[in-house]
Amino acid sequence: MDTSKEFVREIAAIKKEHEAVVSTFRKGLEHAKKAGDILAKLKPQVIAAGLRWEVWVEKDCDMNRRTANNYIRISEKWEELKAKDSTASTVKGYPETGVLLKPQESQGDDARNCPGARKPCENRTDPI
């Protein structure tokens, strides 16, 4: 293995970028939780006012229903997310977060898709 100064600098750069990813991911989850708190609070009021939740979210919040529901799930599962974060100091926790966000009815084998992919992962070993 190359132990030159350049190689050592590259390793340090990788670690720095990885730390930035982890930090940004955590901050993103904190924002999603805050949005989920507010959405969960307003959802019953929106429905009680006779509005359709999906239409209201898209029109007034500029997001789709799925995003809004994911934010609410993050809010509802916040303590579980924090516990997972304290046991995993890397972005490896990301796939586990995905499990928390999936509605119960979609956790079957047909839901084992790679993030951003339209077809199932073939070589995936971690639970999604």
Alpha-carbon torsion (34, 90, 118, 109), positive or negative: negative
* Cα 36 from Cα 119, distance rounded (Å): 28
Grouping H, G, I as helix, E, B as strand and the rest as coil, residue 29 is: helix
Q: How many helices (H) and strands (E) does the chain have?
A: 5, 0
Asked whether the beta carbons of 71 and 42 are under 8 A apart, the reply is no
What number is the average pLDDT over the span 90-112? 45
Choose between 91 and 25: higher pLDDT: 25
pLDDT at 124: 41
The residue type of 31 is: H
Stated pTM of the model = 0.62
**Alpha-carbon span 27 to 12, nearest angstrom:** 23
